[in-house]
A and B are shown apart, each in its own frame.
Chain A
């Protein structure tokens, strides 16, 4: 990064943050602080919902996922349009009618206080953990770009977002998200265009290379339970994951409850239902095109440049240098074979093209084996090193191959994404702690000024918790997957609380509470036992279906044993 990049980065970030903070410096009452103006139109809600979900991880980690595994991750979002339709038709009108601040207040109306607190507690636990992960992602970039220490970067960027959220509340989140999304998509589209211009081949050949290396498999109807992303895991598991995230996660519920009417909130949700799949496809395709680019331009053995340099310095046996030489040779052979493959294809020589393609696949496999060996050497020398470098792929491409000014804009885009999703998360964590715990359990009667102050203190507290988790989290999974795994472990039970609340009238508070606890223990057991028993190592998306179904079943059984006395709902 040079001075121009720094000016673009700091200027765009300060302008957006200052605009949001200035316009939201005074809050009339608690309603205004927690839910914003309540006169927001559908487009602002739609963008706000999309921006809350699309954290920095989406724009850093998803291209890395596309680079490594191709387009199949897009299936993760197949259940989302269906879930959003159900939320718009059923969940939203009920929330609006009950006029709640948080989704968990509904559980108090329908069941009892303990079930409301359980739902709110599960949300705080899962979102608190995810907040740590979303603070970790942009810190990776800053530490790589500026050469800062990672822990220092986590603390500084985490404090910046926390102070901004505490000051601005929900309105600041809504107000600035559309400008941040404009910066993000402007940056990503320009990066995509420049990437295509830098490719030495036409778009048709780029797709041939990507397809030939199995990067364009977007849909699979496989029933293999060990395969993480298929049409079935996407539609079923993704449906339950999206239903719980958009229907019961306060960070999202808070966004669409700020609409001026049911109509505006519904259209905001439908905006996302239509556009989410093409948006994720575009970001994954960007990663696939980066993969194609690195077939013609030599990539590093390991994309985390700082970690690689450190490992090379401590590699007394020279193993990494040997692997680097082997990698260079394998790359040169592969590039030559790809050239032969494309020339044979253009000449119409099908057999020669097929032979060159097979040889290029073998060369790619050799390169991958060398990369794996290099990671193992690094892990042997330093067991604490993060051996998955997928999250560094897109950042490396930006820093090494894009023009100055655009580098600053894209880094600003990542920070904008981090700021907006983190702010929405902290805002929701503060609101839930204030409304569902503090006001409900400790201080029922107090002025709005008192609750606004309490909400600010709780938001600050959650910001500090997220920073602490980000500092100590040892993340071995790709970040975008880690967020989805945390969600899949905790969301299904929260979702079941709402599904039973909406659709199964015969279950009362006590049956629901114990059924939910049992189901949560089951999902946690399945998650932790898969490390010990490989047979349990199926796609995490299935946790959403299993956890939700188990919770409904357990609560039905417990309710049946309790009888009808504990059935009557609280109102």
Chain B
């Protein structure tokens, strides 16, 4: 059978410098997504 599941306490620690909660990590990732879309939009507008 599968090995034991991890404890729930692990959920809280991100271990990412400057981003201490998972909500913070998700906002950072969402910010990166917005940045990529804006950069691609700039490329589209510049060379269309």
Kindly identify which residue among A218, A262, A273 contacts B6, using a CB–CB cutoff of 8 Å.
Answer: A262
Q: Chain B contact residues (Cβ within 8 angstroms of A): what range? A: 20 to 34
| A80-115 residues at the B interface, CB under 8 angstroms | 81-82, 84-85, 88-89, 93, 96-101
Do the beta carbons of B13 and A263 come within 8 Å of each other?
yes
Kindly identify which residue among B10, B16, B47 contacts A216, using a CB–CB cutoff of 8 Å.
Answer: B47
A11 interfacial by beta-carbon distance below 8 Å: no
In Å, the complex CA distance between A89 and B12 comes to 11
Report if A71-B40 is in contact (Cβ < 8 Å); known contacts: A99-B2, A207-B47: yes
Kindly identify which residue among A81, A231, A278 contacts B29, using a CB–CB cutoff of 8 Å.
Answer: A81
In Å, the complex CA distance between A277 and B26 comes to 16
Do the beta carbons of B2 and A101 come within 8 Å of each other?
yes
| B27-48 residues at the A interface, CB under 8 angstroms | 29-30, 32-33, 36-37, 40-41, 43-44, 46-48
Residue of A nearest to B27 (CB): A85
Do the beta carbons of A93 and B11 come within 8 Å of each other?
yes
Interface centre among A262, A278, A281 (most CB of B within 10 A): A262
Contact indicator per residue, chain A 245-260, by CB within 8 Å of chain B (1) or not (0): 0000000000000000
Interface centre among B14, B16, B29, B30 (most CB of A within 10 A): B29
Contacts of B43 in A (CB 8 A): 71, 216, 218
In Å, the complex CA distance between A143 and B5 comes to 47
A217 interfacial by beta-carbon distance below 8 Å: yes
Known contacts A74-B40, A211-B46, A216-B47; can you find 13 more A-B pairs with CB under 8 A?
Answer: A71-B44, A81-B30, A81-B32, A82-B30, A93-B11, A100-B2, A216-B44, A216-B48, A218-B43, A220-B44, A266-B25, A267-B14, A273-B32
Contacts of B40 in A (CB 8 A): 71, 74, 218-219, 281
In Å, the complex CA distance between A538 and B38 comes to 26
Do the beta carbons of B33 and A211 come within 8 Å of each other?
no
Do the beta carbons of B3 and A31 come within 8 Å of each other?
yes
Kindly identify which residue among A78, A89, A263 contacts B26, using a CB–CB cutoff of 8 Å.
Answer: A89
Kindly identify which residue among B16, B22, B36, B44 contacts A217, using a CB–CB cutoff of 8 Å.
Answer: B44
In Å, the complex CA distance between A339 and B36 comes to 33
- Least CB distance from B29 to A in Å reads 5
Contacts of B18 in A (CB 8 A): none
Kindly identify which residue among A208, A217, A277 contacts B33, using a CB–CB cutoff of 8 Å.
Answer: A277
Residue of A nearest to B40 (CB): A218
A507 interfacial by beta-carbon distance below 8 Å: no
Contacts of B41 in A (CB 8 A): 218-219
Contacts of A210 in B (CB 8 A): 47
Contacts of B17 in A (CB 8 A): none
Do the beta carbons of A263 and B29 come within 8 Å of each other?
no
- Least CB distance from A206 to B in Å reads 11
Do the beta carbons of B29 and A266 come within 8 Å of each other?
no
Secondary structure class of chain A's binding surface, majority of residues: helix
| A29-57 residues at the B interface, CB under 8 angstroms | 31, 35, 38
A and B contact pairs by CB, cutoff 8 A, 16 listed: A38-B3, A78-B37, A93-B11, A99-B3, A218-B43, A219-B44, A220-B44, A262-B11, A263-B10, A263-B14, A266-B22, A267-B14, A267-B25, A270-B29, A273-B33, A274-B29
Do the beta carbons of A278 and B48 come within 8 Å of each other?
no
In Å, the complex CA distance between A547 and B48 comes to 35
- Least CB distance from B34 to A in Å reads 9
Contacts of A478 in B (CB 8 A): none
- Least CB distance from A439 to B in Å reads 11
- Interchain residue pairs A-B with the least CB separation, the first 5: A211-B47, A218-B40, A81-B33, A216-B47, A99-B5
Do the beta carbons of A263 and B48 come within 8 Å of each other?
no
In Å, the complex CA distance between A273 and B35 comes to 13
A261 interfacial by beta-carbon distance below 8 Å: yes
| A259-313 residues at the B interface, CB under 8 angstroms | 261-263, 266-267, 270, 273-274, 277-278, 281
Do the beta carbons of A211 and B48 come within 8 Å of each other?
yes
In Å, the complex CA distance between A504 and B15 comes to 33
Contacts of B15 in A (CB 8 A): 263, 267
- Least CB distance from B48 to A in Å reads 6
Contacts of B44 in A (CB 8 A): 71, 216-220
Do the beta carbons of B32 and A99 come within 8 Å of each other?
no
In Å, the complex CA distance between A270 and B36 comes to 15
In Å, the complex CA distance between A278 and B43 comes to 13
Interface centre among A31, A207, A210, A219 (most CB of B within 10 A): A219
Do the beta carbons of A270 and B10 come within 8 Å of each other?
no
In Å, the complex CA distance between A247 and B11 comes to 18
In Å, the complex CA distance between A380 and B14 comes to 61
Contacts of A84 in B (CB 8 A): 29
In Å, the complex CA distance between A84 and B30 comes to 10
Residue of A nearest to B26 (CB): A85
Contacts of A98 in B (CB 8 A): 5
In Å, the complex CA distance between A211 and B46 comes to 8
Contacts of A263 in B (CB 8 A): 10-11, 13-15
Contacts of B32 in A (CB 8 A): 81, 273-274
Do the beta carbons of A267 and B36 come within 8 Å of each other?
no
In Å, the complex CA distance between A219 and B4 comes to 46
In Å, the complex CA distance between A218 and B41 comes to 7
Do the beta carbons of A261 and B10 come within 8 Å of each other?
yes
Report if A99-B4 is in contact (Cβ < 8 Å); known contacts: A81-B29, A219-B44, A278-B36: yes
Residue of B nearest to A269 (CB): B29
Contacts of A89 in B (CB 8 A): 22, 26
- Least CB distance from A153 to B in Å reads 37
Kindly identify which residue among B1, B2, B10 contacts A262, using a CB–CB cutoff of 8 Å.
Answer: B10
Do the beta carbons of B2 and A31 come within 8 Å of each other?
yes
Contacts of B4 in A (CB 8 A): 99
Do the beta carbons of B16 and A261 come within 8 Å of each other?
no
